[in-house]
């Protein structure tokens, strides 16, 4: 996503999700609320309304039609209607809808954080370093090579408008280095592709005293879909 076209696509995706997600979740809550109300309404008894002797409408024609109907159906003294939805139910459903939309808007991450979430889920090009060493030595290697690893994080900047008439805002984030411990195997995934030869030389200089063998290969990493990856917080993380 470092190319201009990729950045524009990510901005467009973020604005689309930022606009549609509250509406979709609010619509889902409204639909579920309507189903619950209809189910509870079906359990209520129907309303029985007694017929008055004369029509309550002021029109003379309506009065005549009403008297004619009563003469034709003298046994009709009352009629039933479906139960009426209580106002408290409608109020609760409206509060749930407004609360869902408001909470979704409040919890929506900014553009840079959204890009980190998307790339961590879908995957991004990386350079993976593998080392076989005991756990304590793995932690020492991470501390010793911290300056090199810090240079492999990827800063993210996104610029967009929060509203159509508002001023553009610029938000910043960081795609971190990922670390995975699998017994005696330590795997470190950089946040961006790195030249393998240069990275190997830099790591050998900082880990020369450890006498370990490094395996470095480029591949795509998706930390949120692959088990065990965790963001590396930096030096003295143990």
Chain centroid, CA 237 distance in Å: 29
pLDDT of residue 236: 52
Q: What is the pLDDT of residue 49?
A: 72
Q: Is 69 helix (H, G, I), strand (E, B) or coil?
A: helix
pLDDT of residue 237: 47
Architecture of domain 124-231: 2-Layer Sandwich (3.30)
- What are the residues whose beta carbons fall under 8 Å from the beta carbon of 118, sequence distance 6 or more? 10, 13
pLDDT at residue 149 in the model: 93
Burial (CB < 10 A; 0-12, 13-18, 19+), residue 175, is buried
Which residues of the chain, if any, have pLDDT below 50?
A: 237-238
**Domain boundaries along the sequence of the chain:** 4-107, 124-231
Tell which residue, 163, 166, 216, has the closest CA to residue 186.
Answer: 216
Q: Which residues contact 105 (CB under 8 A, 6 or more apart)?
A: 22
To the question of pTM greater than 0.85 for the whole model, the response is no
């Amino acid at each position: 996503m470092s190319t201009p076209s990729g950045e524009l696509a990510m901005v467009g995706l973020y604005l689309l999700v930022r606009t549609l997600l509250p509406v979709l979740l609010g619509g889902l809550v409204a639909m579920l609320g309507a189903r619950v109300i209809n189910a509870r309404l079906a359990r209520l008894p129907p309303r029985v309304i007694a017929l008055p002797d004369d029509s309550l409408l002021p029109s003379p024609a309506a009065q005549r039609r009403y008297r004619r109907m009563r003469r034709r159906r003298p046994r009709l003294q009352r009629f039933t209607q479906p139960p009426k939805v209580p106002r408290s139910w409608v109020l609760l459903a409206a509060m749930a809808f407004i609360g869902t939309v408001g909470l979704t808007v409040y919890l929506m991450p900014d553009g840079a954080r959204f890009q980190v979430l998307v790339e961590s889920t879908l995957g991004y090009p990386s350079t993976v370093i593998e080392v076989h060493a005991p756990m304590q030595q793995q932690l020492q290697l991470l501390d010793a090579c911290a300056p090199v690893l810090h240079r492999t994080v990827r800063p993210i900047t996104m610029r967009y408008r929060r509203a159509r008439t508002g001023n553009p805002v610029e938000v910043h984030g960081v795609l971190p280095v990922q670390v995975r411990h699998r017994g005696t195997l330590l795997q470190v995934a950089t946040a961006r592709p790195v030249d393998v030869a240069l990275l190997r030389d830099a790591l050998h200089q900082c880990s020369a005293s450890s006498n370990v063998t490094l395996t470095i290969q480029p591949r795509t990493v998706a930390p949120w879909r692959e088990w065990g990856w965790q963001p590396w917080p930096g030096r003295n993380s143990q």
